[in-house]
Amino acid sequence: MSEALQSLLDLLDLERIEEDIYRGRSRSAVVPRVFGGQVAAQALVAAGRTVPADRHAHSLHAYFLRPGDPDAPIVYNVDRLRDGRSFTTRRVVAVQHGKPIFGLSASFQTYEEGLDHQAPMPDAPDPATLPTGEERLRSYPHLPAETVERFLEARAAVDLRYVDDPPFGDYGTPREPHSQVWFRTNGKLTDDPLLHVVLATYVSDMTLLDSVLLAHGRGGWAVGDVVGASLDHAMWFHRPFRADEWLLYDQQSPSASGGRGLGQARIYTQDGRLALSVIQEGVVRVPREH
């Protein structure tokens, strides 16, 4: 296991400070605020620790309410909304400086047999044939060295490989609002199902709005031609998967308007099983020139 992955696992191992109350800390991000995927992942950890082990996360719905302060701890308050025969529901509110910064509802279910079908996996190249994230980032001479290093530090725990150029790599000309990324953790994980779900949640916030930027030829936050932030985030966990094995993140944007952009995606295992669906809306604003 890489040092960066162990550091991320330590970050997600929340401190229990009281019944259904947990405390987490933050790490550096590409932008000077707490990374949204971190808050979502930590909130899911808090919820999962109040749920029986035989019930696995099948969905989450979340709102980002305020920017998080990376220099202050985050307190996660868990509300046990329901414990039914098959489903368990939890609500989590993340608090900093006495104010809520994030709210999450998550549902967990015991295993059941049932109807089974899925959308087919789209075509994508083998991840082994693609440049690593570091190789791709360092290939763009227009990116400041400081930006490259911040990206690499923020994503060091994950092997993330773009199929095509990301928005910040080749921008200026609008492209199809579609992006594909392969990802897996940089090291093996234990078999705990919650851990794999939590890490996929963490990664899911890294690239989902890329397709919004592609549609308008914008490079994004890395080059400063848009200002953005996550607003809300929803995930559905369809089938078991491992976050330490390759997952294809197939993303697209059906709409952008009113200073907001919508991204939707499906995540497949390398052998073609649809593991997750994801939808996110975010603020996407073009800075005014003075």
**Which amino acids are annotated catalytic?**
205, 230, 280
Interacting residues of 213 by C-beta distance below 8 A, sequence separation 6+: 167, 171, 219, 220, 226, 261, 284
Distance CA 253, CA 174 (A): 13
Taking a C-beta distance cutoff of 8 angstroms, is the pair 69, 33 a contact?
A: yes
The span from the first CA to the last CA of the chain, in angstroms, equals 48
Interacting residues of 228 by C-beta distance below 8 A, sequence separation 6+: 209, 220, 221, 261, 282, 283, 284, 285
Distance CA 242, CA 275 (A): 10
- Going by DSSP bridges, is the β-strand pair 99-110/227-237 parallel, antiparallel, or unpaired? unpaired
Interacting residues of 284 by C-beta distance below 8 A, sequence separation 6+: 209, 212, 213, 226, 227, 228, 256, 259, 260, 261
Taking a C-beta distance cutoff of 8 angstroms, is the pair 64, 36 a contact?
A: yes
Q: Which residues of 149-167 are buried (b: 16+ CB within 10 A; e: fewer)?
A: ebbeebbbbbbbbbbeebb
Element (H, E) at 39: helix 36-48
Both tokens assigned to 220:
């994004």
Residue 256, Cβ density class (10 Å: 0-12 exposed, 13-18 middle, ≥19 buried): buried
